[in-house]
Amino acid sequence: MSNKVPLVSVWIPTYNRLELLKRAVKSVRNQTYPNIEIFIVDNGSTDGTREYLQELKQSCDNVQYHCFEKNEGACRARNYAIKHATGFFATGLDDDDEFLLTRIEELVSAFDEKYAFVCSSYIWDYGKIRKPQLNTELIIDLDKQLNFNQASNQVLTYRQRLIDVGMFDVSVVSSQDWELWTRMIVRFGSAKRIKKPSYIVHTAHDMPRITDSLNNRTLGFNQYFERYGHLMSKSNKKCYDFLVHYNEGNTITLFTVVKYFTPAIATKLLKAWLASTFPRLAKKRLELFKKGKRE
**What does the pLDDT read at residue 129?**
80
Are both 181 and 41 inside the same structural domain? yes
Residues 121 and 246 in one domain: no
In this structure, the answer to whether residues 184 and 243 fall within a common structural domain is: no
Domain presence at residue 95 = yes
CB 22 within 8 A of CB 51: no
Task: Give a yes or no: residue 182 inside a domain.
Answer: yes
In this prediction, residue 3 carries a pLDDT of 55
Q: Which CATH number is 102's domain given?
A: 3.90.550.10
In a domain? residue 197? yes
Q: Record the pTM.
A: 0.89
User: Do the domain assignments include residue 210?
Assistant: no
Burial class (CB in 10 A: 0-12, 13-18, 19+), 68: middle
- Res 126: pLDDT: 77
What is d(CA 25, CA 38) in angstroms, rounded to the nearest whole number?
8
Separation between Cα atoms, residue 240 and residue 234, nearest integer Å: 10
State whether the Cα torsion 66-72-74-79 is positive or negative: negative
Is 268 inside any structural domain?
Answer: yes
Question: What is the span of the domain harbouring residue 275?
Answer: 233-294
Is residue 57 a part of any domain in this protein? yes
Q: pLDDT value at position 279?
A: 63
Q: By 3-state DSSP, what share of the chain in percent is helix, strand and coil, each rounded to 5?
A: 45, 15, 35
Same domain, 89 and 195: yes
Q: How many helices (H) and strands (E) does the chain have?
A: 12, 12
Do 144 and 251 lie in one domain? The reply is no
**What is the model's pLDDT at position 176?**
96
Same domain, yes or no, for 26 and 143?
Answer: yes
What pLDDT score was predicted for residue 293?
39
The count of structural domains within the chain is 2
The pLDDT score that the predictor gives to residue 207 is 55
Query: Using alpha carbons only, what angle is made at residue 66 by residues 160 and 79, rounded to the nearest 5 degrees?
Result: 35
Separation of alpha carbons 4 and 49, rounded Å: 33
* Domain co-membership, 193 together with 261: no
Residues 184 and 279 in one domain: no
Are 197 and 237 within one domain? no
- List the pLDDT tens digit at each of the 295 positions of the chain: 445 899 999 999 999 999 999 999 999 999 999 999 999 999 999 999 999 999 999 999 999 999 999 999 999 999 999 999 999 999 999 999 999 999 999 999 999 999 999 999 999 987 778 889 999 999 999 999 999 999 999 999 999 999 999 999 999 999 999 999 999 999 999 999 999 999 999 886 555 544 456 678 889 999 999 999 999 999 999 999 999 999 888 989 999 999 999 999 998 898 888 888 876 554 554 444 444 433 3
Q: Is residue 14 located within the same domain as residue 85?
A: yes
At residue 286, the pLDDT reads 46
Looking at the fold, whether 48 and 190 belong to one and the same domain comes out as: yes
| Residues 271, 188 share a domain | no
For residues 179 and 146, the answer to whether their CB atoms sit within 8 Å is no
Is residue 225 in a domain? no
Quick check: is 218 in a domain? Answer: no
